[in-house]
Each structure stands twice: as structure tokens, then as C-alpha cells.
């Protein structure tokens, strides 16, 4: 398990270094996956060596068991032939190989347990890499959304500057004044049109004629 402890230490160190220097989250995530893949390949090589050692021990165990079985058969043949001395000699050799086989079996069992644990850890690391690849797209999307929100908040913050709205209000008031002045001038011009002037003069003329007629009638009545 030492290899995975070392991988974990190196990986955490690399991750912390990347996070502290992170300027582009997408590049950081890609680099993390590359680092994880490199560590996986190193771990895979170590696990392969452990499995190879296990197979060697298993082969040696099988060889010792085969030799023990062979000397067991020789002991049976010696007994069948009535040669007890040869049978004892064969049994002694069988016992020696049985003892060696037991020692190899203990080593093989320990190595097999270690190999199985390493293989499980390697599968777990592989699954984590695949999970990281799946989550990379989601994390990049979340990062871009966060950056967009940050940009919007920055824009909104600048718009909250009251001087901008004060200027806008002053311009609005100026436009309102200009529109009112233009409307007043248009109304005055409309009231003093040519037809209206002629009408006013006609009224004045008619009024003067009526007054002259009344004056003439009044003089006639008074005999003036």
C-alpha cells in the first residue's frame, strides 16, 4: 500500500499547488486529470510487479508440492516392495518438501492478499479518474456561469453610481423644457395665423362702420 500513500501525498501536493496558482480552471482541471493518469500508470506498474511476485511464489509453491507428492509416491513404492529403509528416506524427503511448501504457501498467501488489495486500490484510482473526467465538464460550466455572474454584478455595481442617474435626470428635465417651449411657440403661431388676422381686422372694420352709422343717425336726430 506504500505506493498509493506516496501517490496520494504527491497528488495532494500537486493539487494544492495548482489551486493556489489557478488562473484558468479549465486548464487546471485538465492538468489534474493528466497528473492523475500519470500517477495511475506508475501505480499500475507497481501493482504489476506485485502480481508477478505473487505468481512466482505460487509457482514455487506448486513445485514444492509436486516434489513432496513425488517423494510420497516413492515411499509407497518402497513400502510395497518391502524396503522400509528406502520408504523412511523417501518420507523424510517428502517432509522436507512439505515444510518448504508450507513456507512458500504462507509467503504466497501474504503476497496474494497484498496484490488483491493493490488491485482494488488501482481500480478505485481508475474509477476516480473516470469520475473526474465526467465532472470536468460540469465544473467548467459552473466556473463559466460564476464568471458571468461576477461580470454582471460588476456591471450592475457601476450602474448603481448615483452620478450616472443624476446626469440622466438632468438631461430628461432639459428635454422636457425644450419640448414645452416648442409646444408653446407652436400654439402661439397657431393663434396668429393669416386667416385669424384678417378676421380680426374685418371685425374691427365692421365695428367702425357701425359706430359711424350710429353717429350719423344721432346727428340727424339732433339736427346737427
Residue percentage of the chain with pLDDT more than 70: 70
pLDDT tier at 183, thresholds 50, 70, 90: confident
Q: How far apart are CA 41 and CA 126, in angstroms?
A: 10
Is the distance from CB of 11 to CB of 132 less than 8 angstroms? no
pLDDT averaged over every residue in the chain: 79
For the cut 90, the answer to whether the pLDDT of residue 13 exceeds it is no
- Domain boundaries along the sequence of the chain: 2-160, 165-222
pLDDT of residue 190: 59
For the cut 50, the answer to whether the pLDDT of residue 10 exceeds it is no
**Which of 61, 22, 54, 39 has the alpha carbon at shortest distance from 143?**
22
Question: 78-92, pLDDT tens digit by residue?
Answer: 999 999 999 999 999
pLDDT of residue 1: 46
Instruction: Give 161's DSSP letter.
Output: -
pLDDT of residue 149: 82
Most confident of 18-27, 90-99, 176-185, 210-219: 90-99
Over residues 24-49, mean pLDDT: 87
For the cut 60, the answer to whether the pLDDT of residue 216 exceeds it is yes
Please give the helix or strand (H or E) that residue 215 lies within, else none: helix 194-222
C-alpha cell at 224: 346737427
Lowest mean pLDDT among 6-10, 150-154, 178-182: 6-10
Question: 117-130, pLDDT tens digit by residue?
Answer: 999 999 998 998 88
For the cut 80, the answer to whether the pLDDT of residue 154 exceeds it is no
Q: How far apart are CA 58 and CA 45, in angstroms?
A: 20
For the cut 60, the answer to whether the pLDDT of residue 39 exceeds it is yes
For the cut 60, the answer to whether the pLDDT of residue 193 exceeds it is no
pLDDT of residue 133: 86
SS3 assignment, position 73: helix
Four-residue CA torsion sign, 96, 98, 100, 106: negative
What is the pTM (predicted TM-score) of this model? 0.52
Over residues 43-64, mean pLDDT: 94
For the cut 80, the answer to whether the pLDDT of residue 164 exceeds it is no
Amino acid at each position: 500500500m506504500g505506493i498509493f500513500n506516496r501517490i496520494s501525498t504527491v497528488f495532494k501536493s500537486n493539487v494544492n499547488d495548482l489551486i493556489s496558482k489557478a488562473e484558468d480552471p479549465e486548464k487546471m482541471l485538465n492538468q489534474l486529470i493528466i497528473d492523475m493518469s500519470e500517477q495511475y500508470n506508475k501505480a499500475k506498474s507497481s501493482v504489476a510487479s506485485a502480481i508477478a511476485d505473487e505468481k512466482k511464489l505460487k509457482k514455487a509453491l506448486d513445485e514444492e508440492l509436486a516434489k513432496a507428492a513425488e517423494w510420497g509416491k516413492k515411499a509407497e513404492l518402497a513400502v510395497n516392495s518391502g524396503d522400509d529403509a528406502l520408504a523412511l528416506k523417501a518420507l523424510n524427503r517428502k517432509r522436507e518438501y512439505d515444510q518448504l511448501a508450507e513456507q512458500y504457501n504462507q509467503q504466497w498467501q501474504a503476497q496474494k492478499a497484498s496484490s488483491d488489495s493493490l488491485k482494488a486500490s488501482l481500480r478505485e484510482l481508475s474509477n476516480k479518474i473516470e469520475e473526474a473526467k465526467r465532472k470536468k465538464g460540469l465544473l467548467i460550466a459552473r466556473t463559466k456561469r460564476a464568471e458571468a455572474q461576477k461580470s454582471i454584478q460588476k456591471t450592475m455595481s457601476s450602474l448603481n453610481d448615483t452620478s450616472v442617474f443624476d446626469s440622466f435626470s438632468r438631461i430628461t428635465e432639459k428635454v422636457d423644457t425644450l419640448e414645452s417651449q416648442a409646444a408653446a411657440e407652436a400654439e402661439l403661431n397657431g393663434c396668429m395665423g393669416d386667416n385669424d388676422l384678417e378676421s380680426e381686422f374685418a371685425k374691427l372694420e365692421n365695428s367702425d362702420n357701425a359706430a359711424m352709422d350710429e353717429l350719423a343717425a344721432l346727428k340727424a336726430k339732433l339736427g346737427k
